């Protein structure tokens, strides 16, 4: 089954390194819930391989994203789908769309066909977006998009697929990633305003920011997008913000600078990478990965592509810490392992313990040395102030795996 993907290029402005959030939940904010679906048994690639292929495509796309005519490129991860019900037209037809923070075109037609209404306008332009292991092509329409009763966008650009592959049991994508990733995707058009852009420009939300709450897979919870800020009912701390990195190719996405420590030892010195809620695992540069593997005593399990540890090694597992602009974000031992109740879904043994830290496939120094997936933290992607924010949630330190 299909999944979703990756993120943005923005100019950096001078910010304080870590700030308490001025954004609050108020009348100019609204939520959209989405559901998680685990599809690992139907995947054509292992989770690690699918994620790694996607990351390699992102690195390639990021290195060329500032060239005219480049398009959004990423790999569909065939493991976990995050699906929202979105209305298009008036009266609205509801479509099941993948929530994607790593691409920015919203489109439909992969499964259920588009039903034009009196709000539909065919622009005459064509649309094409490649996602590495999938793609779609078709026509651009302007139409009313209903995310919720509080989030109704008139004249939103949508792609209507005439041809698509790599998308099973979904109708398309809700693209909530960076606007720059739409460059070159629609004929005769430069950048295409995203749903977030239009919510802000039409005054529906007061700040062009997006809060994202992804409960862990094992929690069986409902995810939530908050347009216009963040939902404080989902956080257990203030939101700390960090400036975007200027290092390419991470700067083409929601890229930040961070270092990583395992226990008391630094395994990755401060470097650039990205925050990507579309990546299932935590990926780190090969040299850091080898240090982590050695320190944990893990071995590579060929059936799953995951690192595997024994019960005794799990009892000794230390905290994995992401140091970002002076703040520390800890992954507890429980947060470092794949949910055991889903071991068989990835082709593993129900009695084994698998780590969710994986090899990105290249040594540090590439400008794309980590991907912070597998979220145990609330994330805020703030376009207005060109920054990313993090907060703890009730799941950050929970023992659920």
Tally of structural domains, the chain:
2
Report how far residue 88's alpha carbon sits from residue 74's, in angstroms, rounded to the nearest whole number. 25
Query: Which CB contacts under 8 angstroms, 24+ apart, belong to 292-299?
Result: 292/262, 292/267, 292/320, 292/357, 295/262, 295/263, 295/265, 295/267, 296/262, 296/355, 298/355
Contacts of residue 280, defined as CB under 8 A and 6 or more positions apart, other chains included, come to 3, 47, 50, 51, 77, 79, 80, 356, 373, 374
Residue 21: inside a domain, yes or no?
no
User: Do 244 and 185 belong together in one domain?
Assistant: no
pLDDT (tens digit, 9 = 90+) per residue, 268-281?
A: 999 999 988 667 78
Strand ranges of the sheet holding 370-372, from the earlier edge strand across to the other edge:
327-331, 320-324, 255-262, 265-275, 370-372, 282-284, 357-359
User: Do 285 and 335 belong together in one domain?
Assistant: yes
Report how far residue 260's alpha carbon sits from residue 18's, in angstroms, rounded to the nearest whole number. 18
pLDDT (tens digit, 9 = 90+) per residue, 31-78?
A: 887 776 665 544 556 777 777 876 777 787 666 543 322 222 233 444
81 is written with which tokens? Answer: 């789908």
Residue ending a domain, among 205, 227, 249, is 227
Closest CA to 355 of 392, 318, 397, 394: 318
Catalytic residues, by residue number, are 100, 276
For 302, phi and psi rounded to 5 degrees?
-70, -25
pLDDT (tens digit, 9 = 90+) per residue, 159-179?
A: 999 999 878 788 999 998 888
User: Do 222 and 237 belong together in one domain?
Assistant: no
Range of the domain at 287: 233-392
Greatest distance between any 2 Cα atoms in the chain: 64
Residue 323: inside a domain, yes or no?
yes
Report how far residue 98's alpha carbon sits from residue 83's, in angstroms, rounded to the nearest whole number. 5
Residue 36 has what pLDDT?
66
Whole-prediction pTM value?
0.82
- B/e letters for 233-250, b = 16+ CB within 10 Å, e = fewer, are ebbeeebbbbbbbebbbb
User: Do 243 and 388 belong together in one domain?
Assistant: yes
Report how far residue 184's alpha carbon sits from residue 180's, in angstroms, rounded to the nearest whole number. 9
Residue 141: inside a domain, yes or no?
yes
User: Do 256 and 214 belong together in one domain?
Assistant: no
Higher pLDDT, 103 or 266: 266
Report how far residue 226's alpha carbon sits from residue 127's, in angstroms, rounded to the nearest whole number. 28
Residue 21 has what pLDDT?
44
User: Do 81 and 142 belong together in one domain?
Assistant: yes
Contact assessment for residue 29 and residue 106, using Cβ atoms and an 8 Å cutoff = no
User: Do 343 and 245 belong together in one domain?
Assistant: yes
Higher pLDDT, 279 or 321: 321
- Which range, of 83-92, 183-192, 276-285, 320-329, averages the lowest pLDDT? 276-285
Residue 133: inside a domain, yes or no?
yes
- B/e letters for 48-85, b = 16+ CB within 10 Å, e = fewer, are bbbbbbbbbbbbebbbebeeeebbbbbbbbbbbbbbbb
pLDDT (tens digit, 9 = 90+) per residue, 232-275?
A: 999 999 999 999 999 999 888 889 999 999 999 999 999 999 98
Sign of CA dihedral 356, 361, 363, 367: negative
Residue 6: inside a domain, yes or no?
no
Sign of CA dihedral 23, 227, 167, 66: negative
User: Do 222 and 253 belong together in one domain?
Assistant: no
What CATH number corresponds to the domain at position 128? 2.40.70.10
Distance set, CA 256 to CA 34, 241, 387 (Å): 26, 11, 9
């Amino acid at each position: 089954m299909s999944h979703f993907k990756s993120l943005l290029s923005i100019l950096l402005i001078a910010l304080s390194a870590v700030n308490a959030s001025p954004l609050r939940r108020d009348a100019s904010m609204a939520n959209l819930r989405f559901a998680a679906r685990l599809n690992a048994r139907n995947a054509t690639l292992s989770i690690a391989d699918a994620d790694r292929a996607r990351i390699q495509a992102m690195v390639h796309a990021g290195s060329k994203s500032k060239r005219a005519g480049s398009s959004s490129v990423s790999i569909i991860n065939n493991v976990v789908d995050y699906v929202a019900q979105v209305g298009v037209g008036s009266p609205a037809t509801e479509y099941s769309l993948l929530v994607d923070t790593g691409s920015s075109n919203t489109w439909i037609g992969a499964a259920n066909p588009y039903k034009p209404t009196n709000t539909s306008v065919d622009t005459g332009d064509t649309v094409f977006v490649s996602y590495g292991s999938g793609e779609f092509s078709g026509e651009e329409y302007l139409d009313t998009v209903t995310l919720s009763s509080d989030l109704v966008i008139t004249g939103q650009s949508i792609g209507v697929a005439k041809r698509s592959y790599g998308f099973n049991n979904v109708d398309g994508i809700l693209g909530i990633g960076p606007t720059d990733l739409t460059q070159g995707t629609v004929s005769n058009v430069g950048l295409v305003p995203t749903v977030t852009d239009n919510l802000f420009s039409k005054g529906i939300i007061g700040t062009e920011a997006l809060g994202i709450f992804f409960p862990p897979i094992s929690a069986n919870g409902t995810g939530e997008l908050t347009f216009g800020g963040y939902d404080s009912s989902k956080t257990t701390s203030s939101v700390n913000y960090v400036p975007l990195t200027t290092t390419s190719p991470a700067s083409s996405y929601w890229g930040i600078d961070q270092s990583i420590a395992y226990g008391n030892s630094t395994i990755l010195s401060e470097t650039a990478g990205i925050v990507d809620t579309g990546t299932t695992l935590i990926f780190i540069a090969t040299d850091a990965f080898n240090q982590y593997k050695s320190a944990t005593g893990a071995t590579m399990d060929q059936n799953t592509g995951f690192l595997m540890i024994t019960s005794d090694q799990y009892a000794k597992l230390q905290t994995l810490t992401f140091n970002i602009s002076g703040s520390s974000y800890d992954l507890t031992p429980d947060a470092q392992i794949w949910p055991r109740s889903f071991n068989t879904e990835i082709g593993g043994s129900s009695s084994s313990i698998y780590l969710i830290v994986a090899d990105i496939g290249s040594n540090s120094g590439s400008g794309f040395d980590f991907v912070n997936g597998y979220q145990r933290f609330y994330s805020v992607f703030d376009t207005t102030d060109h920054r990313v924010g993090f907060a703890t949630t009730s799941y950050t330190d929970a023992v659920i795996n």
